[in-house]
Amino acid sequence: MTKLVKILEDLPSLTDAERQQLLNSLRALVSLGPSSAQPIGEDDHESFALSCIADSLASLGVEQVSVPMLRSSANAAFRGKVGNVMVFVTKACGTRSAQRALLLLGVELLYNNLAKLGLPASARLIMRHFHRIPSVLNRHFPGYAASGLLGFVVDKSTTGTD
């Protein structure tokens, strides 16, 4: 915050060329959007999970939501669930593309499970039940996770390997 105060204090002393350069830099930062400003780490898992939820629901034709919109409704409980689910997904799949494919499949199976229960499956409801993704995957592919085979369910489709 002190750097921002320093920049604001120095603003009046900038030349026209320096102001234009600053303005161009700020426009470039704004064009990147909020998700690019997130630090790598736990928030990266949250962005990854939210992206999978948004993409899965869009492909199902259920709901058109964006990651920033989902992030604004994410709470501490969801953030805790993401860590546990990502441990499960990371253990099952080595590559990020395979993890994404498995998580997309998990969200789709969770959506179908919630719909079978008669619940109006929305992005918020998916986020509330996000912790159930490992059990839904285990129910659909019994024994695969325990034997280390769950990653093979998606590896062939994402990597083209047999």
Q: Is residue 20 part of a domain?
A: no
Q: Report the candidate in 138, 137, 127, 150 with the shortest Cα–Cα distance to residue 49.
A: 127
Q: What is the pLDDT tens value at each position of the chain, 162 positions in all? A: 566 667 777 778 878 887 777 776 766 666 555 443 333 444 588 999 999 999 998 888 888 888 888 888 888 888 889 999 999 999 998 888 899 999 999 999 999 999 999 998 889 999 999 999 999 999 999 988 888 888 888 865 554 554
Q: Please check whether residue 35 lies inside any domain of the structure.
A: no
Assigned token pair, 139:
């129910």
Distance, in Å, from the CA atom of 17 to the CA atom of 27, rounded to the nearest integer, reads 15
Decide if 118 is inside a domain. yes
- Structural domains counted in the chain: 1
Domain that holds residue 92: 42-159
Closest CA to 110 of 89, 128, 132: 132
